[in-house]
Chains A and B, each alone.
Chain A
């Protein structure tokens, strides 16, 4: 019950509470009124029965004395005519035989024994259940029982119908009150909870990344404070989020700069030194030195070549100089070409509308890194046979697509999973967001995976570059 109530909305709770209150009050009142009224009416009935009996007793003694049965009958007839609720009147002699009665022939079975006056009692009242409903029967001794007994039966039907009518009216009234109460409480609850619903909607909007402002709620007596606090919290969240992405941007930029510097240094400084070493060793080999020396020089040259290759590989992994010197198409093309054989995957790279186009350096590095991460995922997770990489410009946007024909995955499940299990995807998204772009992953189990990145690049600068190249 508790849990059930807890699961109801505030509005439903209010409506249910008010309905219950009205029901309890209405039904309780009805029952009470019914009991009271029938108590009063029964007393009244008894008083009337006694009054009628007493009245008849006063007159009937004389009729009995004079043995005027006809007069007695007339008297009884008058009494019945004047009181519509009198069902019967019977006058019994002391031996118990009928002297006069409203019944046409004999008394109904059991009536005679149903009520009697104990010796010494002034009268006796009894309730009889008959075919014609409940009857209040009074047995009244005539002349203290010496002349017989009067029996009068008053039907309870009019009283009962009065009580029933009242009950019916009260129940109807309760129903009407219930209906009105429901309507009023529903509207009241709606009005009261609307600011709360508004806040809840605002909270959802914050979740979606919007910044709603609740200023129309500020004037509200209770909710105003909450709305103010809520908006302050939203603002702080926004600021934190902005700070976070600024920090992230700085960290990523610094990282890229550092990589670029190390890559350059590896390539230019260390690489050139090794290159000169190679030249020197070659010179020794071709010089007039002894055979022993020449063999050693050749061996050293082999080692040096290996070291040089290793170092150039490292430099390229850190940051390919082609990316800075020649642009994304060249760098990515080279990366994809190296990637295929290394992971035993068929690769196909295509650039469209990118001839001679240089994007902003930030955009180029972001797209390059996202492609790298997407391709790493393909080799790690996809089990693909081939992968396609597409780079193009469309309506002022740079588009990158990395599409494999592998096993795919349930994007919803991964998205809902722990952040630790989707760091790669999150990183791609963050990088795309840094340059104002969006990342979309479309994948279904068994149907391969496609990663789409769309970055606004505008149209300035590129065309200038394109022209100077050709």
Chain B
């Protein structure tokens, strides 16, 4: 299988080479040290799998992955990185990479990942799959939430307070806008939180979002 390595560190590249060369059916077709080089060599060498680092001089792994996805969608990209942030994982999954492996454990997992993407599967480094699971559960919860909250009846005043709190106005600003005292604002807020069984401002914002109360404000 034809593999291209993109990493700015010579030492890392030679380490990777050693791991890959231990697999007889893997063929290392080239190396790139920058994002631009990764894009150019992918274009030129048409590898089946691209091992892609994130932090590189020039355009980084994220940008390189975007370009390659557009130019050569058939190339399977495996991100090989030191970042275990779920945010990076999400970004790359949105771009459409096939694998995400942490360098810290790049040996058996890396080989397993390359074999998995070769079979057309995806490979996410195990400790990161928990994030994905949480994400899924969170989305599911949000889908379910409005059903039992919908029953609560808010007064128009409470709805207005809900909207303004969710928009991140200070207590004083809300009091000024509605022409009431700050402690009245707090009372309204406490009531509506109770009615909707919400705990904390973040939940309140999610509720407001789900009810479409915050529209026409973002832009």
Contacts and interface: CB of A to CB of B under 8 A. Distances in A.
Where chain B touches its partner, the secondary structure class is helix
A275 B82 contact: yes
B16 interface: yes
B154 to A, nearest CB: 19
A353 B25 CA distance: 48
B133 interface: no
A226 B91 CA distance: 64
A349 B202 contact: yes
B62 interface: yes
A388 B201 contact: yes
Contacts of A388: 200-202
Contacts of B60: 325
Contacts of A440: 170, 172
B168 interface: yes
A352 B55 contact: no
A454 B172 CA distance: 14
Interface stretch (B34-42, B103-111, B116-124, B145-153): B103-111
A330 B84 CA distance: 12
Interface stretch (B7-15, B43-51, B71-79): B7-15
A276 B12 contact: yes
B219 A325 contact: no
A396 to B, nearest CB: 8
B107 A282 contact: yes
B171 interface: yes
Nearest to A447: B186
B182 to A, nearest CB: 8
A325 B205 contact: no
Given A272-B82, A322-B87, A350-B206, A442 B11 contact: no
B19 A279 contact: yes
Contacts of B171: 442, 450
B203 interface: yes
A349 B219 CA distance: 21
Given A386-B200, A440-B172, A279 B205 contact: no
B202 A350 contact: yes
A401 B54 contact: no
Nearest to B18: A283
A452 B86 CA distance: 27
A144 interface: no
Interface string A422-451: 000000000000000000101000010010
A268 interface: yes
Given A275-B104, A390-B168, A353 B87 contact: no
Contact of B218 (A305, A334, A394, A452): A394
A364 interface: no
B34 to A, nearest CB: 13
A392 B166 CA distance: 9
A389 interface: yes
Nearest to A354: B218
B209 interface: yes
Contacts of B199: 386
A322 B88 contact: yes
A272 B33 CA distance: 13
Nearest to B166: A352
Contacts of B214: 352-353, 392
A447 B190 CA distance: 12
Given A326-B91, A348-B203, 11 more contacts: A267-B82, A268-B9, A275-B106, A279-B18, A322-B85, A322-B87, A334-B87, A394-B217, A400-B168, A442-B172, A450-B171
Interface of B: 8-9, 11-12, 14-16, 18-19, 22, 54-55, 60, 62, 82-83, 85-88, 90-91, 94, 103-104, 106-107, 166-168, 170-172, 186, 199-203, 205-206, 209, 214, 217-219
Interface of A: 264, 267-268, 271-273, 275-276, 278-280, 282-283, 286, 305, 308, 312, 320-322, 325-326, 329-331, 333-334, 348-350, 352-354, 386, 388-390, 392-395, 399-401, 403, 405, 440, 442, 447, 450, 452, 454, 459, 463, 469-470
29 contacts: A264-B55, A267-B55, A268-B9, A275-B9, A275-B12, A275-B106, A286-B22, A286-B107, A321-B83, A322-B83, A325-B62, A325-B88, A326-B88, A326-B91, A330-B88, A330-B90, A330-B91, A331-B87, A348-B200, A348-B202, A348-B203, A352-B205, A352-B209, A352-B218, A353-B218, A388-B202, A389-B202, A392-B168, A405-B200
**Complex A-B, nearest 10 residue pairs according to Cβ-Cβ distance, in ascending order:** A353-B218, A330-B87, A279-B15, A399-B168, A348-B202, A276-B11, A350-B202, A272-B9, A388-B201, A388-B200
